[in-house]
Amino acid sequence: MNKYIELNAQKQAITKFNVNYPTMDSLQNAGLLLNPDTIVVDFDGDNQAKEQSIIEYIKNTYPTLNVETTRGIHFYYKKPQEITVKSVSDVITASGFQVDYKTGNNSYVVVKQNGVERNRSQELDLTNLPELPHILYPLGKNKENLSNMCDGDGRNNSIFSHLCNVRRKYPTLDIKEIGEFINNNIFTDPLDFRELNNTINSVLSRNIEAEQKQSKPLQTISAIELHNKELEPTKFIVDNMLPQGLNLIASPPKYRQELANA
């Protein structure tokens, strides 16, 4: 059963989330409470000229409950078990465009404002939603938005770097399919077919697993852990003079020559 909370005109919750309503009929401004199994993908104009074409593609290819907003649209999906998705803004998806994500027990989405329910494709029902499609999998913040890239914008390098990142995070996804989707639907000026194929093959030929093993994160230790750690006694190469490990033996300039001339 749906749970609604009362919002103010600025779309902020008026009460705590445990104070909720089974319907929004009595509320002037209402938010629908989400749950950990539901993820809402929010498009709000971050992809400029390509925004509407991406939205229409998703509507037609991955239909689900969608609700119009003042700046874009919300798509409702079931969260896949094999990936981690959190409520976060300005994230680049596996397919190269930017969205916001909303999910979890402490999240809500606006469904009614100033006494008017927002337009939606079907009844508000969080059960039996289709699973989040792979093109909407989150890749991460601080990644490059590939939407609207034109000839001269470095599309080849950008899609190569992007697809490598996708392979690192989601090794089971079809890189060729994602690359072709980006080229046909995200770029304003698509790459030549041969150029795109060469780039995709270069991505697929990289040994991502070996690269990840070589770039393991630095192992650190806190000062308190170091203070409490039981260390082995120092071992010397030369007794009480030269310990094992990193050493530097130095002398004044021309010291050896002076000894020879003495």
For the chain, the domain total comes to: 2
Whether 45 and 154 map to the same domain: the answer is no
Query: What's the Cα-to-Cα distance from 62 to each of 118, 129, 260, rounded to whole Å?
Result: 21, 11, 84
Which is more confident, 89 or 215? 89
Which among 105, 122, 145 is the end of a domain? 145
The pLDDT value given to residue 149: 93
The pLDDT value given to residue 217: 63
Whether 15 and 119 map to the same domain: the answer is yes
Q: What percent of the chain has pLDDT over 70?
A: 88
Whether 100 and 181 map to the same domain: the answer is no
Whether 116 and 154 map to the same domain: the answer is no
Whether 30 and 137 map to the same domain: the answer is yes
Q: Is residue 260 part of a domain?
A: no
74 HSE (CA, 13 A, CB side): 23
Query: Does residue 39 sit in helix, strand or coil?
Result: strand
Whether 170 and 48 map to the same domain: the answer is no
Q: Is residue 80 part of a domain?
A: yes
Whether 53 and 4 map to the same domain: the answer is yes
Whether 110 and 163 map to the same domain: the answer is no
Confidence of residue 139 (pLDDT cuts 50, 70, 90): very high
Whether 140 and 160 map to the same domain: the answer is no
Least confident of 13-22, 59-68, 93-102, 110-119: 13-22
100-129 burial, b if ≥16 CB within 10 A, otherwise e? bbbbbeebbbbbbbeeeebeeeeebebeeb
The Cα 249–Cα 241 span in angstroms is 11
The pLDDT value given to residue 224: 67
Whether 140 and 154 map to the same domain: the answer is no
Q: Is residue 224 part of a domain?
A: no
Q: Is residue 229 part of a domain?
A: no
Output the CA torsion sign for 9, 15, 17, 22.
Answer: negative
Q: Which domain holds residue 93?
A: 1-145
Which among 169, 193, 211 is the end of a domain? 211
Whether 64 and 166 map to the same domain: the answer is no
The pLDDT value given to residue 206: 86
Tokens of 170: 């989601």
> Tokens 């008026």 belong to which residue?
14
Q: Is residue 242 part of a domain?
A: no
Which among 126, 145, 164 is the end of a domain? 145
Q: What average pLDDT does the segment 163-180 reach?
A: 95
Whether 163 and 138 map to the same domain: the answer is no
The pLDDT value given to residue 239: 77
Q: Is residue 253 part of a domain?
A: no
Q: Is residue 45 part of a domain?
A: yes
- With a cut of 80, say whether residue 230 has pLDDT above it: no
